[in-house]
Amino acid sequence: MTKAGFVAIIGAPNAGKSTLTNRLVGAKVSIVTQKVQTTRFPVRGVAMAGEAQIVLVDTPGIFQPRRRLDRAMVRAAWGGADDAEVIVHLVDSAAELAVAARDAKPADRKAAADVETIVEGLKASGKQAILALNKIDGMKRDTLLGLSQRLFDTGVYSEVFMISAADGSGVDDLKARLAALMPEAPWFYPEDQTADLPTRLMAAEITREKVYLRVHEELPYSAAVETTKFEDHKDGGVRIEQTIYVERESQRPIIVGKNGQTLKWIGQKSREDLSQILDRPVHLFLHVAVDERWADKREFYGDVGLDFDV
Ligand SMILES: Nc1nc2c(ncn2[C@@H]2O[C@H](COP(=O)(O)OP(=O)(O)OP(=O)(O)O)[C@@H](O)[C@H]2O)c(=O)[nH]1
Ligand SMILES: [Mg+2]
C-alpha cells in the first residue's frame, strides 16, 4: 500500500528551510541564498522514501511583516502549515545559541524573536510540530541539549531532531520519520517528479537566486525577476528572456556592474543551472528595469500564488 502526504517546513527567515527541502528531495527545487526572505511563496518538493511519497512544502520565513509582500509571505507560510499533515519547525541553532551566550548579532536576535512568534502561533493553532534544530555542523550535540529542552517545554513539539541541512547529518533519520508519519494514500505525483513549479517561474527563481548571491549586500530589500519569453530554439535548446526589476534607479548600476560584469556573471551562472535543470542548451537574455511599485502590483501576487489583499 502506498503512502503519501504533505509536510510543511516552517521557520524564521534564513533557518535553512529551502536547503533542507532540497536535501530531502535530493534535487534543487527551491532557491537558497544567505539573504533573509529568499523564499517568497510556498514551493513544493517531492521526496520518495520506499512506498512513501513526502510532498514537502518549503515556505517563506515567518517574521514580523510590514510591507504588503511581507504580509503575503507570512500568510502563505502559515497557510502551508494549515494544509499539511505534518509540520516541521526548523530552527537555526547557531543563532539561538549565540543569543543564549549573549554573543548575538542583530540578525541572531531577530531570528530568536521570530522563533518565539512561531511557538506562539503553533500554540494558538493547537498544532504539534516536529522541532528540527538545524546548522549543527561544527557543534557538539551536548551544547544543544539546553536549547532542545527549553523549546520542547513549550509543549508545541512532539519530538526533536538535530540536523545539518547543509552537510546532511541527521536528515536521513528525519526523512524516515516523516515517511512513517505519512497516511496510506495514492501518490500525488509520478515517482520521478521532484518539483512542480511552472517552468517559467522556476527559471525566474534561478536568476533571482544569482542576483541575491552576487549583490545581496548592496541590494537591501528586493528585486524580482520575470520570465517574459520562453520558446524553443532551432538548435534544440530554449530561448529565455527575463527582466530583473529593481525599485530604484540607483539600484540599476548595482545589478549591471562595471562594464556589465555583474549582469554577465548573473546570466552565466543562471544559464549554467538552467541548462542542467532543463537538460538542454539555454540562451538567456537578461534586461534590467526599474519599477518602484513592482511589490504592489496585483499580477505579481497572482502569478506566484500569493494573496494580494492581506
Ligand atoms: N552552516 C550551515 N548553514 C546552513 C545550513 N542550512 C542552511 N544553511 C545556510 O543558511 C542560509 C539560508 O539558507 P536557506 O535554505 O535559504 O534558508 P531559508 O530558511 O529557506 O531562508 P528564507 O527563504 O529566506 O526564509 C544559506 O546561506 C545556507 O547555505 C546548515 O545546516 N548549516
Ligand atoms: Mg527559503
Determine the distance separating the centroid of ligand 1 and the alpha carbon of 163, expressed in angstroms: 12
- Is-same-fold flag (3-181; 199-304)? no
**What is the Cα gyration radius of the chain?**
20
pLDDT of amino acid 218:
81
* pLDDT, tens digit (0-9, with 9 covering 90-100), for 89-120: 999 999 999 999 998 999 999 999 999 999 99
Give residue limits of the domains in the chain: 3-181, 199-304
* pLDDT, tens digit (0-9, with 9 covering 90-100), for 209-224: 999 999 988 876 678 9
Determine the distance separating the centroid of ligand 1 and the alpha carbon of 69, expressed in angstroms: 21
Confidence class of residue 134 from pLDDT cuts 50, 70 and 90?
very high
CATH number attached to the domain at 3-181: 3.40.50.300
Res 187 pLDDT > 90: yes
Determine the distance separating the centroid of ligand 1 and the alpha carbon of 166, expressed in angstroms: 8
| CB environment 273-287: b (16+ within 10 A), e (fewer) | bbbebbeeebebebe
CATH number attached to the domain at 199-304: 3.30.300.20
Res 309 pLDDT > 90: no
pLDDT of amino acid 56:
97
Ligand 1 neighbours, Cβ below 6 Å, are: 11, 13-19, 32-34, 36-39, 60-61, 134-135, 137, 164-166
Q: Whose CA is nearest to atom 9 of ligand 1?
A: 16
* pLDDT, tens digit (0-9, with 9 covering 90-100), for 67-80: 999 999 999 999 98
* pLDDT, tens digit (0-9, with 9 covering 90-100), for 259-305: 999 999 999 999 999 999 999 999 999 999 999 888 888 888 888 88
